[in-house]
Structure 1
Amino acid sequence: MLPYCDTAYITKIDKHYDADTFIPDLDALPDWYVAEESEQYHDVDGTPYRYVTYKRRKIITFIGAGMMASALTVPAYDNGVEVRLVGTPLDDDIIDGLRADRYHINLKRYVPDISFYKFDEIEAALDGVYDVVCGVSSFGVQWFCDEVVPRLRPGVRVLSVTKGLIDNGDGTVTSFPDLFASCAKPGVRFAAVGGACTSYELADRNVSRVTFCSAHRWVAERFKALLENEYYRVDISDDVTGVETAVALKNAYALAVSLAIGMAQARDGEGCAEHYNTEAALFAQSAKEMDSLIKLFGGCDDALFVGIGDLFVTIFGGRTRRLGILLGRGLGVDDAIKELEGVTLESVVIARRMYSVLKYRAENGTADPCDYPLLFYVGALLDKEDPGAIPWDKFSI
């Protein structure tokens, strides 16, 4: 087998012959190609035929050299995929470091022996590629729509690791895969990743379980075939709205649960024991509100489990936890964000967006603030509306 290829031995029929064999249309499926043709003709029941070996290219171009996309190159490389990592215009320092010794200055890990590109080299990085990973943060989504999606030719499949939702300003939200699809040429298909997976542990090859979702199930299945292995486990869902809502909300609610850690530190001092009862109470309320919001936006019941796993892992580490702790200690929003300067705070974006969406719906009678007291509290806190103490008396199971 050639490197970076799946091998499929397929019978090519020169005359009509009944067979169940799949013969790819090389025009419609350009990532398949004829690798070898047998010269000798064979005869079955008087019908001549010969064997042709088709191969399917296994190349993924990752666009955005952030921590999650860079970590995801590890299972791709381990699976024998040719990997091309392209930085955004903001990633030049990262790419320079990777080219020097493969050390990722933000992930703080060495990445595999793959190819690295700066954004002005993107055409070369996309040459011959039909599988792409969007690795930008939620702050880079519009840039990806403007600068990358128009370059993708029909037949390309995109897997987005970016988590978040767009506030449409009318009480509705749009998932990132749907946003990308609205900017794309016909025939470009999109999928997204949801679930509990930190970049550090993935890069260390710790067992992780995620969900790939797509309106075109075969696209999610394609990426599963490329990326799944013994430590990167993949479930498949066609509930894009539910999965994307769940994993976006987990950032807002992880911030909410982390407030309890900061509150304990404010009372007992930094380094004190965590108050798990308080965290668990906030976790339970978070789960209830997430379930309600997933259904409000049209998602299915099972999507909650994807979000709950993601919520759990986010509370136990990372940027959102740090912000929640600072706010729980009593720091103002501006001071907390300043202390974390240089850190991407997607939790602030999604919490503010969902707060805006729900306020709009409340004014129009399509949502009841009493159903989301924790999200309204976090939203008011981030918008500097002085919400006071956590509204425990409004929580219910």
Structure 2
Amino acid sequence: MQKVTVLGAGVMGTALAIHLAKQKNEVKLWGTRWDNVTIENYKATGKCEKLNTDIPSGVEFFLVDELEKALQDSSIVILAVTSDGIRDITESISHYINKDIIIANIAKGIEEKSLMTMSEIIEDSLSGQLKNIPVVKIGGPLRAIEVANEVFSEAIFASKNIEAARILQRTFKAPYFKSDVTTDIIGVEICAALKNSYAITIGICEGMYENMDNPKAAMIARGCMELAALVKAKGGNMETTLGLAGIGDLYVTAQGGRNRALGKLLGQGKSMKDALEEMKNQTIEGYSAAKVGYKLAKTLEEEGKLKLSDISLLAELYRVLFEDKPAVEALKDYWSN
């Protein structure tokens, strides 16, 4: 049994808290300033309506101004905030944690300015005796509602410190939840950061060829091949993309959600501007990820570690999202080259 603090009371943070509490861990769930109403509702009802489930009575709830109390005596801290909040939350918790803690992270992304992954940002934000704290990336095909409702799921825990990854593996283990461990944290991070972008291409195919499977299957396969090229160029293990972090997570992401929905509108011939307006300007994670991913690829090319021809699908997607190239034209150009 571990003492776990989950930071971030969105659906994924809440789902992880529910799962961990069911495994008899001591769980604290802390909400950011955007989660105050959510935390108060949890306290009042003991339910999460978005996940359609009760929250185990053992979960303790903490508001934004109770961070120090939420972290007290914890052995594992899980960061479940948005990617743009990772640096700030890591700096905030550094005042209240000690060197014996494990930091796990489920946020995904690459910082545009530095091109750092989330785990690299966490490591960069720690100083002094905290510099050697193990950082574990939680990856794989994990839909929050399924994790919370005991649907069979598999994850992968990645860390430079393999024993820290194994501790997470044991902490999460359940009859309906199993996992792998790996030291290839860069591979798991790259897959998590860019799978949303490749899900857009699958949506484009859906818009172009509704109810046809060949093109969508090709996008999944090619997406994983391009992820493998990027992972290798960053010093990771290409085989990571063949497992839970790569093809597993991409498959789940491509089954639905906003990334695929955007792609479908583009595949039906709508402009990027019109597609975003139809989606009421919702946040599309794959949109911003494609921009950063393409920037990363160009940087790796300049360093002699990658050829842009290795990521031709991502390059065409970039032209659709940021250079107003029609999606149908982009996919036809991809297939003809």
Fold shared per TM-score above 0.5: yes
Structure 2 distance, partners of 1:158, 1:396, is 46
- The residue aligned with 1:76 is 20
CA deviation vs aligned residue, 1:38-70 (integer Å, no higher than 9, x gap)? xxxxxxxxxxxxxxxxxxxx2111000121121
- The residue aligned with 1:336 is 275
- The residue aligned with 1:145 is 90
Structure 2 distance, partners of 1:331, 1:175, is 32
The question of whether the paired residues in 2 share the 8 Å contact of 1:377 and 1:387 is answered with no
The residue type equivalent to 1:95 in the other structure is: I
Q: How many equivalent residue pairs? A: 330
5+ residue gaps, structure 2: none
Matched, 1:292 2:237: no
CA deviation vs aligned residue, 1:239-269 (integer Å, no higher than 9, x gap)? 11111112222111111111112234xxxxx
Matched, 1:209 2:180: no
Matched, 1:275 2:217: no
Secondary structure of 1:100's counterpart equals helix
Matched, 1:64 2:8: yes
Secondary structure of 2:103's counterpart equals strand
Structure 1 distance, partners of 2:304, 2:176, is 46
1:390 to 309, 330, 333: 330
Structure 2 distance, partners of 1:207, 1:284, is 24
The question of whether the paired residues in 1 share the 8 Å contact of 2:186 and 2:235 is answered with yes
Structure 2 distance, partners of 1:223, 1:202, is 15
Structure 1 distance, partners of 2:305, 2:28, is 46
Q: Which moved more, 1:339-348 or 1:186-195?
A: 339-348
Structure 1 distance, partners of 2:149, 2:31, is 22
The question of whether the paired residues in 2 share the 8 Å contact of 1:370 and 1:394 is answered with no
- The residue aligned with 1:180 is 122
Q: Which moved more, 1:273-282 or 1:305-314?
A: 273-282
CA deviation vs aligned residue, 1:140-163 (integer Å, no higher than 9, x gap)? 223323433443222111110111
The residue type equivalent to 1:227 in the other structure is: F
- The residue aligned with 1:303 is 240
The question of whether the paired residues in 1 share the 8 Å contact of 2:294 and 2:318 is answered with yes
Instruction: State the shift of 1:364 in Å.
Output: 6.4
Secondary structure of 2:28's counterpart equals strand
The question of whether the paired residues in 2 share the 8 Å contact of 1:138 and 1:346 is answered with no
The question of whether the paired residues in 1 share the 8 Å contact of 2:233 and 2:305 is answered with no
1:195 to 135, 140, 153: 140
Q: Provide the aligned C-alpha RMSD in A.
A: 2.3
CA deviation vs aligned residue, 1:296-333 (integer Å, no higher than 9, x gap)? 11111321122111000111122322222233233333
**Alpha carbons of 1:210 and 1:186: their partners in 2 closer, same or farther (altered >3 Å)?**
same
The question of whether the paired residues in 2 share the 8 Å contact of 1:285 and 1:396 is answered with no
Structure 2 distance, partners of 1:82, 1:176, is 26
Instruction: State the shift of 1:210 in Å.
Output: 0.9
**Alpha carbons of 1:340 and 1:133: their partners in 2 closer, same or farther (altered >3 Å)?**
farther
Secondary structure of 1:91's counterpart equals helix
Structure possessing the higher radius of gyration over alpha carbons: 1
The question of whether the paired residues in 2 share the 8 Å contact of 1:285 and 1:395 is answered with no
The question of whether the paired residues in 1 share the 8 Å contact of 2:220 and 2:247 is answered with no
Secondary structure of 1:166's counterpart equals coil
Q: More strand by proportion, 1 or 2?
A: 1
The question of whether the paired residues in 1 share the 8 Å contact of 2:6 and 2:30 is answered with yes
Matched, 1:133 2:78: yes
The question of whether the paired residues in 2 share the 8 Å contact of 1:208 and 1:233 is answered with yes
Structure 2 distance, partners of 1:144, 1:329, is 40
**Alpha carbons of 1:281 and 1:261: their partners in 2 closer, same or farther (altered >3 Å)?**
same
Secondary structure of 1:80's counterpart equals coil
Structure 2 distance, partners of 1:290, 1:321, is 18
The question of whether the paired residues in 1 share the 8 Å contact of 2:7 and 2:29 is answered with yes
